[in-house]
Chain A
Amino acid sequence: MTVRRSILALVALVVFSVAATACDNGSDSKRSDASTTTTTTVAVAPVVDCGNPVASFAPLDPMPAPGNMPAGSYMAEIQKRGRLIAGVSADTLLFGYRDPLSGQLEGFDIDLVRQVAQAIFGDPNRVDYKVVTYAQRIPSLLDGSVDVIANVMTINCERWQQISFSSQYLDAGKRILVRTDSPVTDISQLNGKRVCAASGSTSIDNLKNYPGVVVVPVDATSDCMVLFQQGTVDSVTADDTVLAGFVAQDPYAKIVGPPLTSEPYGLGVAKTHPEFVGFVNGVLADLRADGTWKQMYSRWLKPSGAVPDPPVAVYGRNQ
């Protein structure tokens, strides 16, 4: 069901192109390996079988009132501490980025974190942001330095082995970015060209399926954009969501080609706190139901045009 919906959403994205919404770039799963063929077979057989990867734990019912977290739960711990600690990106425009004008972190992922803080404290500002690279996302959950990861993170079975995910909050897919005057319309035309991707991302893994391209790895995806603008690389590959942020910063860049993968985004939580996953799922369920998700979507990802329905949450995973 979800997969079918994702595909539809992705096909729609191809048509609407630039204002793109979906994508992920940070995952290191092998999930994308099989996804190279066409848009119709985007779903990939995971290396590790965990059932439906986007299936999460059921939301808490009833949801505790803000400022009144149930004793013994992880939420109570956070409430006692007084701040939610969230691992986010600071350079992914539209999702998590430091607004150069205000100096504040903003974006879709940041708003999600604020919603979680609102649900815990009744105050969306009680968040400590920690900027994490893609490669630091899982380790910082494992060592307990953050409560939640909201950083364009793809849900997949491999990662389920180490951490838990909330229900899916967005669909994304990998695409490529080229200059506006480029004749390239598909990644297959990039043979012999230099293509930039962030180290430790699913994007760079995905490039292994295209042995003809010259891979240029960098630390952060925004470094790709510098190289792209300097003409050092011919193309950048990342989630379409991230690339949309690039296009918004550079009128001489365009996103081309069909989505190469499907990347469902989820919030990451440590495996030891299933009740917190259920709580977050409750928050997300409210956002879907009361229209907040659509507001966030139109604010960050689709300033004009139709706002799609949020991805349908799938539950039923056993704790």
Chain B
Amino acid sequence: MTTVTPPAASTPPTSPAPTTPRTPSPPTLLSPRSRARELLTGAFSGTPGRMRLLGAIAITVCLLFGVASFAAAARLHTDVENARANAAQLVRVQTIRTNLVTADANATNAFLVGGLEPASSRAAYTNGIATTAKTLAEAAAAQSDEAAAHERVNRVVATYTGLIESARANNRQGFPVGAAYLRQASRVVRDEALPTLERLVRVEQERVDDATAGAESNQIVLAVMLILTVIALSVAQLYLYSKTRRILNPSLVAATGIVVVVGLVALATMAWSRGQIDNAIDGPYRRTVALATARIGAFDAKSAEALTLIARGSGAPYEERFQTVSKEAKAALAADADDRATASALARYLIEHGKVRAADDGGTYDAAVALATGDGAANQAFGRFEVVSGRALATQAQDLADDLGRAATPLLPMAWLLLVAGIAAAVLAWRGMSQRLAEYR
């Protein structure tokens, strides 16, 4: 406010010193570099110079805080959105897989019954194929970088439905070659479509893992930026305090307050989001994967049961497949202690399947077929599993999407708030410093 002399007194001794040795003969011609340096040293020397320097640092750090924390929050938001998109894609791919296996199980079972296939079996098959086609289209739209895989599956589905129709046409005319078409159709799905879909499942699972694994680093970036900014603003204030004997500079205090409040709120928000993500991954995501795995295993088992009966005596390899895939289904559900209903529905079906095998092995083939089809106990038990597991899967998939959606919601507004806070703090810091600088003039 009052003293204008100290800076003037302190600067002259330093500033001429460098210029004299540089310009021995023509003092008028300064090289641009020297002049810049002179200007710079002039600007940052002495108390106002140091103030300027500190002010510049504080402003820069505030701006950096805004930009870097904006980027961190935005990246977390993108990660969560990616996780959500990939999880949704994973559910779609699993739906396609399940529906193909279901359609195949239904076609096989319808064949086992003989005569005109039951309208319900046919409807289930048609529904399975329709859902597959619809989900494939959605999956292709959602994930363009797997276009080749989607196209391949699409082609296989077209071939598969063609073969099934040939099998039906022959079947309707009483031609046993229909069974050969059915076998080929089954083979096409198993050899060509399912491996591709299994690969897609792995890819999407990795993507979900990747998207959720990087979440922590964003919080660290925000925390570090917050600490740096507070330090820079505090140093500036301490310097001002030491030079001006004023305890508080309102602008700098406001800048610090904004940064601290917004930064802490952002940290808390990110921590909450991460908690939501972790919950989603540990809960609905894991259960979605488990249920989808269990359903695929169970449908595969059901179709193996029918193929064992169709093979009539030489079906041992199919029964082996039944044992393998039903164990996989059981293991997938065993990990989930919260969902006893699905596990017990599966267990119930496996018991009924045992009765089918006992009937067939005991020489009562017709009784075995009756159990495995139509209103037979095994078929009914399987139908219940299908309903229960399907409902559970739909619930979990929805929960997963909801949880991740909730986790993502506050992150983008938070990111903008951080950017605005950084800019506001920078403006305030500039104001605070320039007020003090003005007092020196």
- B contact residues around A99 at 8 Å (CB): 114, 174, 176
Question: Does B178 reach chain A (CB closer than 8 Å)?
Answer: yes
Interface class of chain A by DSSP: mixed
| CB 8 Å contact bits of A64-99 with B (1 = contact, 0 = none) | 000000000000000000010001001111000111
Tally of contacts, chain A with chain B, CB under 8 A: 90
Question: Does A226 reach chain B (CB closer than 8 Å)?
Answer: yes
Cβ of B181 and Cβ of A226 under 8 Å apart?
Answer: yes
Interface residues of A (CB under 8 A from B): 83, 87, 90-93, 97-105, 128-133, 136, 220, 222-223, 225-226, 229, 246, 248-250
Cβ of A90 and Cβ of B179 under 8 Å apart?
Answer: yes
Cβ of B312 and Cβ of A103 under 8 Å apart?
Answer: no
Looking at the complex, which one of A97, A102, A131 makes contact with B114 (CB distance below 8 Å)? A102
Q: How large is the interface on B (under 10, 10 to 19, 20 to 34, 35 or more residues)?
A: 20 to 34
Looking at the complex, which one of B170, B311, B312, B314 makes contact with A100 (CB distance below 8 Å)? B170
- A contact residues around B113 at 8 Å (CB): 103
| CB 8 Å contact bits of B165-199 with A (1 = contact, 0 = none) | 01000111111111111011000000000000000
Question: Does B334 reach chain A (CB closer than 8 Å)?
Answer: no
Cβ of B180 and Cβ of A220 under 8 Å apart?
Answer: yes
CA distance A273 to B173 in the complex (A): 41
Of the candidates B115, B184, B363, B369, the one having the most CB atoms from chain A within 10 angstroms of its own CB is B363
Give the Cβ gap from B261 to chain A, nearest Cβ, in Å: 73
Evaluate whether A222 and B180 lie within 8 angstroms (CB atoms) in the complex, with A128-B363, A131-B314 already known: yes
Question: Does B347 reach chain A (CB closer than 8 Å)?
Answer: no
Cβ of B365 and Cβ of A249 under 8 Å apart?
Answer: no
Give the Cβ gap from B243 to chain A, nearest Cβ, in Å: 93
Chain B contacts with A in 5-64, Cβ cutoff 8 A: none
CA distance A92 to B179 in the complex (A): 11
Closest to B116 in A: A101
Evaluate whether A100 and B365 lie within 8 angstroms (CB atoms) in the complex, with A131-B314, A136-B314 already known: no
Cβ of A93 and Cβ of B175 under 8 Å apart?
Answer: yes
Closest to A98 in B: B176
Looking at the complex, which one of A102, A132, A246 makes contact with B314 (CB distance below 8 Å)? A132
CA distance A249 to B169 in the complex (A): 11
Closest to A133 in B: B314
Question: Does B313 reach chain A (CB closer than 8 Å)?
Answer: yes
CA distance A87 to B179 in the complex (A): 19
- A contact residues around B179 at 8 Å (CB): 90-91, 98, 100, 222
Cβ of A91 and Cβ of B363 under 8 Å apart?
Answer: no
- B contact residues around A136 at 8 Å (CB): 314
Cβ of B313 and Cβ of A130 under 8 Å apart?
Answer: yes
Of the candidates A103, A133, A229, the one having the most CB atoms from chain B within 10 angstroms of its own CB is A103
CA distance A163 to B145 in the complex (A): 60
Looking at the complex, which one of A103, A104, A226 makes contact with B177 (CB distance below 8 Å)? A226
Evaluate whether A100 and B180 lie within 8 angstroms (CB atoms) in the complex, with A128-B365, A130-B314 already known: no
